Amino acid sequence: MDLKYRENSVWKTTGVLWLGVAVLNLICLVFLFIGLGFSAYTVIVAIIISCNVALSIIIGIYYLRLNDITYIQLENDMLLVHKGLIRLKRKINYNDIEESRISDNKLILLLTNGKEVEINLDLLKIRDFDKLNIKLSEHVEIRQAN
Protein backbone atom coordinates (compact mmCIF):
# COMPACT_ATOMS: atom_id res chain seq x y z
CA MET A 1 0.00 0.00 0.00
CA ASP A 2 1.44 3.37 -1.01
CA LEU A 3 0.94 6.47 1.12
CA LYS A 4 1.68 9.59 -0.91
CA TYR A 5 2.74 13.05 0.21
CA ARG A 6 -0.13 15.39 1.02
CA GLU A 7 -0.85 18.25 -1.42
CA ASN A 8 0.98 21.43 -0.47
CA SER A 9 0.91 24.71 -2.39
CA VAL A 10 4.33 25.68 -0.98
CA TRP A 11 5.90 22.76 -2.86
CA LYS A 12 4.27 23.85 -6.12
CA THR A 13 5.49 27.41 -5.60
CA THR A 14 8.99 26.18 -4.78
CA GLY A 15 9.03 24.05 -7.93
CA VAL A 16 7.97 26.98 -10.11
CA LEU A 17 10.62 29.19 -8.49
CA TRP A 18 13.35 26.63 -9.19
CA LEU A 19 12.23 26.40 -12.83
CA GLY A 20 12.34 30.20 -12.92
CA VAL A 21 15.93 30.07 -11.69
CA ALA A 22 16.71 27.66 -14.52
CA VAL A 23 15.22 30.06 -17.09
CA LEU A 24 17.18 33.00 -15.66
CA ASN A 25 20.37 30.98 -15.85
CA LEU A 26 19.61 30.08 -19.47
CA ILE A 27 19.19 33.78 -20.23
CA CYS A 28 22.54 34.49 -18.56
CA LEU A 29 24.08 31.75 -20.68
CA VAL A 30 22.78 33.32 -23.89
CA PHE A 31 24.02 36.78 -22.91
CA LEU A 32 27.38 35.32 -21.94
CA PHE A 33 27.98 34.00 -25.45
CA ILE A 34 26.49 37.06 -27.16
CA GLY A 35 28.56 39.48 -25.09
CA LEU A 36 31.86 37.64 -24.81
CA GLY A 37 31.84 35.15 -27.66
CA PHE A 38 33.61 31.82 -27.45
CA SER A 39 36.77 31.69 -25.34
CA ALA A 40 38.18 29.38 -22.69
CA TYR A 41 36.71 31.61 -19.98
CA THR A 42 33.20 31.63 -21.43
CA VAL A 43 33.24 27.86 -21.96
CA ILE A 44 34.18 27.27 -18.29
CA VAL A 45 31.52 29.69 -17.06
CA ALA A 46 29.00 28.13 -19.50
CA ILE A 47 29.70 24.67 -18.05
CA ILE A 48 29.12 25.96 -14.52
CA ILE A 49 25.90 27.75 -15.50
CA SER A 50 24.72 24.67 -17.43
CA CYS A 51 25.19 22.53 -14.33
CA ASN A 52 23.16 25.08 -12.39
CA VAL A 53 20.41 24.93 -15.03
CA ALA A 54 20.31 21.13 -14.89
CA LEU A 55 20.16 21.06 -11.08
CA SER A 56 17.49 23.77 -11.00
CA ILE A 57 15.33 21.81 -13.45
CA ILE A 58 15.76 18.57 -11.47
CA ILE A 59 14.89 20.25 -8.16
CA GLY A 60 11.97 22.15 -9.72
CA ILE A 61 10.45 19.00 -11.22
CA TYR A 62 11.02 17.15 -7.93
CA TYR A 63 9.02 19.75 -5.99
CA LEU A 64 6.27 19.90 -8.62
CA ARG A 65 5.89 16.10 -8.50
CA LEU A 66 6.35 15.68 -4.73
CA ASN A 67 2.70 14.86 -4.05
CA ASP A 68 2.94 12.04 -6.65
CA ILE A 69 5.88 10.45 -4.80
CA THR A 70 5.21 7.66 -2.32
CA TYR A 71 6.20 8.89 1.15
CA ILE A 72 5.61 5.57 2.92
CA GLN A 73 5.20 2.20 1.28
CA LEU A 74 3.61 -0.51 3.44
CA GLU A 75 4.64 -4.05 2.59
CA ASN A 76 3.74 -7.32 4.32
CA ASP A 77 6.99 -7.55 6.29
CA MET A 78 8.42 -4.01 6.14
CA LEU A 79 7.76 -0.38 5.48
CA LEU A 80 9.81 1.91 3.25
CA VAL A 81 10.11 5.62 4.04
CA HIS A 82 11.07 8.16 1.35
CA LYS A 83 13.97 10.25 2.67
CA GLY A 84 14.39 12.87 -0.04
CA LEU A 85 15.71 13.55 -3.50
CA ILE A 86 19.19 12.11 -3.05
CA ARG A 87 18.90 9.66 -0.16
CA LEU A 88 17.56 6.14 -0.70
CA LYS A 89 14.33 4.90 0.85
CA ARG A 90 14.73 3.71 4.42
CA LYS A 91 13.70 0.04 4.84
CA ILE A 92 12.30 -0.87 8.23
CA ASN A 93 11.27 -4.43 9.04
CA TYR A 94 8.28 -4.58 11.36
CA ASN A 95 10.24 -7.04 13.53
CA ASP A 96 12.94 -4.38 14.03
CA ILE A 97 10.49 -1.90 15.57
CA GLU A 98 10.80 -2.08 19.34
CA GLU A 99 8.52 0.79 20.24
CA SER A 100 6.63 3.61 18.56
CA ARG A 101 5.13 6.81 19.80
CA ILE A 102 3.53 9.97 18.48
CA SER A 103 5.09 13.23 19.62
CA ASP A 104 4.69 16.74 18.15
CA ASN A 105 2.94 15.45 15.03
CA LYS A 106 5.76 13.00 14.35
CA LEU A 107 5.62 9.24 14.53
CA ILE A 108 8.86 8.09 16.14
CA LEU A 109 9.88 4.48 15.61
CA LEU A 110 12.46 3.15 18.06
CA LEU A 111 14.35 0.29 16.45
CA THR A 112 16.00 -2.69 18.12
CA ASN A 113 19.44 -1.41 17.03
CA GLY A 114 18.90 1.77 19.09
CA LYS A 115 18.20 4.08 16.14
CA GLU A 116 15.14 6.28 15.80
CA VAL A 117 13.17 6.94 12.63
CA GLU A 118 10.90 9.98 12.44
CA ILE A 119 7.88 10.09 10.17
CA ASN A 120 6.40 13.55 9.78
CA LEU A 121 2.64 13.12 10.07
CA ASP A 122 2.01 16.60 8.60
CA LEU A 123 3.12 15.18 5.25
CA LEU A 124 0.36 12.54 5.22
CA LYS A 125 -3.36 12.80 4.63
CA ILE A 126 -5.50 11.85 7.63
CA ARG A 127 -6.81 8.75 5.83
CA ASP A 128 -3.26 7.68 5.02
CA PHE A 129 -2.23 8.14 8.65
CA ASP A 130 -5.14 5.91 9.67
CA LYS A 131 -3.92 3.22 7.24
CA LEU A 132 -0.38 3.52 8.63
CA ASN A 133 -1.69 3.37 12.18
CA ILE A 134 -3.71 0.22 11.47
CA LYS A 135 -0.79 -1.53 9.75
CA LEU A 136 1.70 -0.63 12.49
CA SER A 137 -0.77 -1.61 15.24
CA GLU A 138 -0.64 -5.16 13.90
CA HIS A 139 3.04 -5.29 14.82
CA VAL A 140 3.70 -2.80 17.62
CA GLU A 141 1.75 -0.59 20.04
CA ILE A 142 1.71 3.10 19.20
CA ARG A 143 1.80 5.31 22.30
CA GLN A 144 0.96 8.98 22.58
CA ALA A 145 3.86 10.93 24.13
CA ASN A 146 2.94 13.67 26.56
Q: What is the pLDDT of residue 140?
A: 76
97 and 139 co-located in one domain: yes
- Structural domain including 19 reads 2-67
27 and 58 co-located in one domain: yes
98 and 63 co-located in one domain: no
Q: What is the pLDDT of residue 146?
A: 56
Are the beta carbons of 77 and 83 closer than 8 angstroms?
no
Number of structural domains the chain divides into: 2
* Rounded Cα–Cα distance for residues 71 and 58 (Å): 19
Measured from the Cβ of residue 53, the count of other Cβ atoms closer than 10 Å reads 18
* Rounded Cα–Cα distance for residues 86 and 115 (Å): 21
Q: What is the pLDDT of residue 76?
A: 84
Residues forming beta bridges with residue 101, ordered by sequence position: 108, 143
48 and 96 co-located in one domain: no
Q: What is the pTM of this model?
A: 0.78
41 conformational bin, left if phi > 0, alpha if psi -120 to 50, beta if neither: alpha
Q: What is the mean pLDDT of each run of 10 residues along the chain (146 residues)?
A: 85 95 94 81 90 96 89 87 85 86 86 87 85 82 69
